[in-house]
Amino acid sequence: MAQHIEKCDVVVIGAGPVGLLTSVCLSRWGYKVKHVDNRPVPTATGRADGIQPRTLEILHNLKLKRPVMAYNPARVFEVAFWDPAPGGKIVRTGTYPSCPSFLDARYPYTALLHQGLIERVMIADLAKTGTPLERPATITRFETNHADPAYPVEVDLKNLDSNVTTTYRTKYLFSGEGGKSFVREQLKVQVRHKDPISYVWGVMDGVVRTNFPDIKMKCTIHSDHGSIMVIPRENNMVRLYIQIASSTDPDFDPRQTATVQEVQHAAQKIFQPYTCDWDRVEWYSVYPIGQGLADKYTLDNRVFMGGDVCHTHSPKAGQGMNTAFHDAINFAWKVHHVESGFAQRSILETYETERRAVADTLLEFDNKYAALFSKTQSAAGDEKAAAQANKDFVELFKANCEFTSGFGVAYAGNIFNYTESSLSSLPQNLRSLILSHDKHEHKLRPGRVMPNSNVTRVVDANKVHLENEIPFNGSFRLFVYGGSTSSPQPGQHKLLSALSDNLLKTGSFYRRFMHKNHEQLDTHHDSDNPHSPFFSVAVTICATRPEIEIEDLPELFQAYRDRVYADDALNTPVPNARFGSHAKVGLTRNDAGDQAEGAVVVVRPDGHLGIAVKLTEGPDTVEVLEAYFSQFLQQGEWGGESGSSRFSQPQQGDMELGAHAASLKNTYIIA
Amino acid sequence: MAQHIEKCDVVVIGAGPVGLLTSVCLSRWGYKVKHVDNRPVPTATGRADGIQPRTLEILHNLKLKRPVMAYNPARVFEVAFWDPAPGGKIVRTGTYPSCPSFLDARYPYTALLHQGLIERVMIADLAKTGTPLERPATITRFETNHADPAYPVEVDLKNLDSNVTTTYRTKYLFSGEGGKSFVREQLKVQVRHKDPISYVWGVMDGVVRTNFPDIKMKCTIHSDHGSIMVIPRENNMVRLYIQIASSTDPDFDPRQTATVQEVQHAAQKIFQPYTCDWDRVEWYSVYPIGQGLADKYTLDNRVFMGGDVCHTHSPKAGQGMNTAFHDAINFAWKVHHVESGFAQRSILETYETERRAVADTLLEFDNKYAALFSKTQSAAGDEKAAAQANKDFVELFKANCEFTSGFGVAYAGNIFNYTESSLSSLPQNLRSLILSHDKHEHKLRPGRVMPNSNVTRVVDANKVHLENEIPFNGSFRLFVYGGSTSSPQPGQHKLLSALSDNLLKTGSFYRRFMHKNHEQLDTHHDSDNPHSPFFSVAVTICATRPEIEIEDLPELFQAYRDRVYADDALNTPVPNARFGSHAKVGLTRNDAGDQAEGAVVVVRPDGHLGIAVKLTEGPDTVEVLEAYFSQFLQQGEWGGESGSSRFSQPQQGDMELGAHAASLKNTYIIA
């Protein structure tokens, strides 16, 4: 029985990637997080290891990339394909970039290091914000729709050292427990298998002595003796994945296993004519993998799940941890917007719709990938079929580079992501200002990340990455492009003046969420939120840095003096464009790139594009933005004041609780 | 009196930049270092703060850049010049890059953070190698030419907490004590002042609230009320330098001082019409600066001095710490080469000749710079003269960018740095193979750093910075360029085969210093020294990465499998050259950059170029290298074996000690 009741904003179960990143985000934004994990210490070694190019950008935006890279992960730029050769040998049939240049990634490689090191980086971050991580401790009971409307979830957490159970009342419960989830089981949420086929995989990390030439590259090796995937690791280690059994095998047993020696022997046979000896094995595991997807990520928008709780799949495409990170940031900013009185509670529903659709796509890819990987293996007897299967496998790999690099995460149209059917009540003249379209060729695609670009920061002349200048601070980002008709001379910023005037007008969506006493805000150490915790503005001007005087800019932009940029830097994919940053987002109108539209690009806190609207001299641009934001913002004036606590709004949102939570009243107690 | 005698390789006095980096290098290479500092803790704040572009490259090569950058230093890309305007105000008259693009620096900015943080990075590195730093402790006596020929220097070190004095016998004593040096005084080494004029400077670090638009840039401000230099700092701080007095003033007093309030008031007047208020002052100091240069850096090649012990100057060009780092690495590798039986003891003489010449150039520049900075100030009454002085100042600044960025450190011709008069006994046909010349236009200038370039590492397809691939490991670096006539097909590497064969030939300078049992060396975790601790080889081949098979390369290069590169990466200053890395070092013979010479570029352990020699199909290339290395290498076979200690050569070098040290026999005891 519970012995003591404490209150908090969010209870997080599990200190793997998804739980830790959820905690990191919410703790930074001032929420009281109770975080437990049933393991006494972080992951010592092994497990997830691949950080994809887009995830590196996310970590950079969170200011976590530098400490991760300090562990010197291996970096994979290319994948080598090896296939059977006569005499039971193998031969390299080709190589391909793991993140080809057409994806234009800032970091066109996968970084590889073991999950425990990444956990440690996030645990260190939690320590900075004062959120303790209790371990070993586990969840033993939870109950939603409790009498206290402000804290409708009650959770019992049992410390596994002391055996003491403490009861928490919380606004949210987030489960990042991994594949075996108490919360998911209690909620009776089903995990569906996209494909009835499941596999048993062996995975081994260690130091290998070999004359195999591609041991420092990612390799898929198909041989007459079986298949292996090679992944280079930190500290001159390597990881080998070997498929041990498939449910298509006649004698399949999901509990089938193999010893270290058996796996090493199998690897030696596959590697012929190359040698493969092990100095030491750092980690070894054999585990069955089924491709599963949870039916629901939440039942009541109070108890949420993410990461492996919701989706499991083969490890071969290196997507698990990356998907978990996306789950975490998607959940975190939406809860933040609801709890701080900015957005309507209903936005929480988009966590499931957005993230479940991505997991569904991932499983579909993984399904095909795993099947082809196995097929090439079993086709060893039939040379022609094997060659075709190998070709199919390589083609599938190439076709899915965008997805596996993380740039294929595309959220479908909804309240956040503009689509042709959105904002249908807007008159046509306003709709025609919308620049963002879902077309593949278009550069401003809602639901996807915006193209990166280099610019010069005016205030200190630093060359910077524009897309990364506003950190993951929970704010919507308004990237303003001045266009080439605005001159940097005083009074000549007609488009920027119109935007400034209309955003600062009484009653505008921007003005309503400004701190009431924002003039007293101290922005010396925080240049991203001079007006409001919910908006950050960056403006890029078609001029060279010395031509721009911040004092001459319209009022709004003077408040963001550290976020004023000159579009005068070199952008390698468009080296000849005079205004390269405008060109990269598709705003230039001629080949020389010296005539460019003005625009405001609305980017969600997680970096995905919401809508892009052309700048006009009148109020039209802001009217379109008004319609966009009215889809999900709270009505009326926000009551926040700078000072005491960062988001000191009396919680209107909580008033809605009854209606939302009344639909569900359950208590879940451990058997 | 000494109570106990211990032995070590080097005693280092002072844990500022020069002492710490000396210790870091020698400790990493396995030397026993006794290091003391008379301060109880590292620098808490203030003091030196500027890390120049070339120094960032050095720190990167030492693997110390990442922990330094983790402190988020301010980064200065541009300098703004402000001059007097009517009404006692100031106006910006121009800006200029602090490291212009023609210098082609990897990191074209100055990083600014206080000296204590840099000290901490190096102290943490010392901890890793197990070298303790004893503090507070000071040197009280030293004596050279002691009876023990292997440890000819005796040093008394007194712990200032316990008052216990311990006597050390050491091979070398290195003083990095700073401007006030016990060692220098005891040696009676004179400090000469290049210019009789000296100055009193005020310097103040802190958080400033101002509407001055360039507060995040480096600025030189001349006004009718005096002059200031503005330097942005980490954590949104700023540093102001104000000249308080000059020995040209009629009432000059070198002990003149000023209060915090006086300096702040002076700054407020200079900043008009802008405001300048201080949130807090982090550090404040007023100190007289004379431009001084020590006559000698050593008397006997056993007791050495570096850093501020040897050279002092104004802080305005931000050169102090950078010069200290150069002193440290120059000293460290030369001592290493002597003590490990690689080079003749006489190379130690080049420490003083090389480093003192650079300090001399620095003082000359600083002298002109400081004089012009003062002149513009005092010329306030005469508008025309002031304008000319300001113009001269800006011109001087621009002309000296290469020097202040650190790329102007050019060592004159000597045994290490080829010059027209070197190797005069070589026949003309061999001399004609030498590609490196001292001409300004030439890209391979002896005594300077080699041009940087991007290449693709074959073994893992990583895009890397070639010039930084071999770390600061104490080895001479042989950068081999294959040239365009070598094909990557087996047996077609005629130039590379000739080089490989001749380097590995019995009796060659390379072979003589190979580990006798190098076949047993474990190179899995150290790919830079498969043969010898004194040589590291990197080879760049005119082909794309997939065309190159390491197994097909000549024997020498197979041992360096992690150091084989494809010249197929984009190099922005020569985007159209097919072989960009060859083009950047001047080896291409046509505009398309697809015809290139082969060459071997010899780079000293500190990154400065020694000699570059054209590759030939016969033994000629190695013959030229033989002549180069015979200028300073020990004769005969090196006796080192891999295994026990890293450099387990019985010290031939020590035999020469008598002759060198007999010239000096002194005992220095603290008064």
ipTM for this model: 0.88
CB count within 10 Å of CB A384 equals 8
Taking every pair of C-alpha atoms in chain A, what is the biggest distance, in angstroms? 79
Distance from CA of A362 to the nearest CA of B (A): 27
Q: What percent of chain A has a predicted confidence (pLDDT) above 90?
A: 68
Q: Please give the pLDDT value at position B4.
A: 66
Band (pLDDT 50/70/90 cuts) for residue B494 is: very high
Amino acid in position B250? P
Per-residue pLDDT at B254 exceeds 80: no
Give the chain A residue nearest B524 (alpha carbons).
Answer: A236
| Residue A606 clears pLDDT 80, i.e. is over it | yes
- Supply the pLDDT for residue A643: 38
* Cβ contact B217–A461 (<8 Å): yes
- Do residue A70 and residue B74 have CB atoms under 8 angstroms apart? no
Helix (H, G, I), strand (E, B) or coil at A300: coil
- Out of A243-257, A424-438, A444-458, pick the least confident: A243-257
Record: contact B207-A463, CB cut-off 8 A: no
Smallest Cα distance from B456 to chain A, Å: 10
Q: A551: which residues sit within 8 A by CB, 6+ positions away?
A: A558, B213
Residue B244 pLDDT greater than 90, yes or no: no
Q: Is the pLDDT confidence value at B461 over 60?
A: yes
Amino acid, res. B653: G
pLDDT of residue A32: 97
The yes-or-no verdict on residue B289 having pLDDT over 80 is no
The beta-carbon neighbor of B462 closest among A75, A460, A462 is: A75
pLDDT value of residue A600: 97
pLDDT for A562-586, tens place per residue? 999 999 999 988 888 899 999 999 9
- A-B contacts (CB, under 8 Å): 74
Name the residue among A462, A463, A549 with its Cβ closest to that of B213: A549
Long-range contacts at A179-185 (CB < 8 A, ≥ 24 apart): A179/A308, A179/A309, A179/A312, A181/A305, A181/A309, A182/A13, A182/A138, A182/A139, A182/A670, A183/A13, A183/A139, A183/A142, A183/A303, A183/A305, A183/A309, A183/A668, A184/A294, A184/A305, A184/A309, A184/A310
- What's the mean pLDDT in B202-219? 94
Q: How far apart are the first and last CA of chain A?
A: 13
Contact B444, B435 (CB under 8 A): yes
Q: What pLDDT band is residue A656 in, cutting at 50, 70 and 90? A: very low
> In chain B, what residues touch A78 (CB-CB under 8 Å)?
461, 545
Average pLDDT of the segment spanning B397-411? 88
Secondary structure class of A384 (helix, strand, coil):
helix
Contacting residues of B for A81, CB less than 8 Å apart? none
Catalogue the E-assigned strands of B45-180.
Answer: 50-51, 74-76, 78-85, 89-97, 110-112, 133-134, 137-143, 153-159, 165-175
Look up residue A356 and give its two tokens.
Answer: 């479940």
As a CATH number, domain A428-631 is: 3.40.30.20
Q: Render pLDDT for A508-528 as a digit per residue (tens, 0 to 9).
A: 999 999 988 877 777 778 889
Q: Average pLDDT for residues A354-375, to the nearest whole number?
A: 86
| pLDDT at residue number A418 | 95
CA distance B38 to B160: 7
The chain A residue lying nearest B95, using CA atoms, is A546
Residue numbers in A near B525 (CB within 8 A): 236
Mean pLDDT of B599-622: 96
Give the whole-angstrom CA distance, residue B644 versus residue A101.
Answer: 48
pLDDT tens digits for B573-600?
Answer: 888 889 999 999 999 888 777 899 999 9
Beta strands B165-175 and B5-13, pairing class = parallel
At B423 the pLDDT is: 93
Is residue A286 within 8 A of residue A257, CB to CB? The reply is yes
A261 burial class (0-12, 13-18, 19+ CB within 10 angstroms)?
exposed
Rg (CA), chain A: 26
Mutate to test the interface with A, among B71, B214, B216 (most CBs of A within 10 A): B216
Confidence of residue B560 (pLDDT cuts 50, 70, 90): very high
Q: Which residue in the set A74, A209, A463 is minimally distant from B77, CB to CB?
A: A463
- What H or E segment, with its residue span, contains residue A653? helix A652-655
Please name the residue of chain A whose CA is at the shortest distance from the CA of residue B233.
A460
Could you tell me if A654 and A170 are in contact, meaning their C-beta atoms sit under 8 angstroms apart?
no
- Among B252, B258, B263, smallest CA distance to B290 is for B252
Q: Nearest residue on chain B to A66, judged by CA atoms?
A: B70
Looking at chain B, how many residues does it have?
671
Which chain A residue lies closest to B279 (C-alpha atoms)?
A524
Give A216's contacts (C-beta < 8 A, 6+ positions apart).
A74, A232, B459, B460, B562
Confidence of residue A440 (pLDDT cuts 50, 70, 90): low
CB contact under 8 A, B524 and A207: yes
Nearest to A462 among B70, B75, B524 (CB): B75
Average pLDDT over residues B240-266: 85
Neighbours of A667 (CB within 10 A): 12
Average pLDDT (A632-651) is 63
| Nearest CA-CA distance, residue A460 and chain B, Å | 5
Q: What local confidence, expressed as pLDDT, does residue A442 receive?
A: 73
B460:A551 CB<8 A: no
Contact between A461 and B279 using a beta-carbon 8 Å cutoff: no
Question: What average pLDDT is seen over chain B?
Answer: 88
In the structure, what pLDDT confidence band is assigned to residue A370 with cuts at 50, 70 and 90? Answer: confident
Minimum Cα–Cα distance from B92: chain A residue: A546
Average pLDDT, chain A: 88
pLDDT at A451 over 60: yes
Put simply, the answer to whether B570 touches A572 (Cβ < 8 Å) is: yes
Does the pLDDT at position B533 exceed 50? yes
Torsion of CA B174, B179, B180, B182, to 10 degrees: 20
User: Which positions in chain A touch B459 (Cβ < 8 Å)?
Assistant: 213, 216-217
Instruction: Return all residues near A185 (Cβ < 8 A) that are at least 6 apart.
Output: none
**Residue B242: which of B285, B283, B201, B290 has the closest Cα?**
B201
Work out the number of other CB atoms within 10 angstroms of the CB of residue A208: 25
Question: What's the average model confidence in pLDDT over B511-539?
Answer: 89
pLDDT for the residue numbered B654: 36
Q: Where are the alpha helices (DSSP H) in A340-464?
A: 349-378, 383-399, 401-404, 428-431
Residues of A in contact with B100 (CB under 8 A): none
On chain B, the residues whose CB falls within 8 A of the CB of A279 are 524
Torsion from C-alpha of A16, A17, A19, A20, nearest 10 degrees: 100
**A54-58, A377-381, A476-480, B548-552: segment of lowest average pLDDT:** A377-381
Find chain B residues with C-beta within 8 A of A74's C-beta: 460
Tell me what the mean pLDDT of segment A25-29 comes to: 97
Nearest CA in chain B to A527: B236
Nearest CA in chain B to A552: B213
CB contact under 8 Å between B461 and A524, yes or no, is no
What average pLDDT does this structure show over B68-76?
A: 93
Q: What is the pLDDT of residues B290-330, one digit of tens each?
A: 789 999 999 999 999 999 999 988 777 778 899 999 999 99
**Contact: A70, B75; criterion CB under 8 Å:** no
Confidence of residue B656 (pLDDT cuts 50, 70, 90): very low
Is A216–B459 a contact, with Cβ atoms under 8 angstroms apart?
A: yes
pLDDT of the residue at A641: 53
- All residues of chain B having their beta carbon less than 8 Å from the beta carbon of residue A216 are 459-460, 562
Q: Among A139-143, A534-538, A634-638, B245-249, whose mean pLDDT is lowest?
A: B245-249
Contact list, B463 vs chain A (CB under 8 Å): 77
Confidence of residue A274 (pLDDT cuts 50, 70, 90): very high
Q: What is the pLDDT of residue B145?
A: 76
Prior bond to B446 cis, omega within 30?
no
pLDDT of residue A313: 83
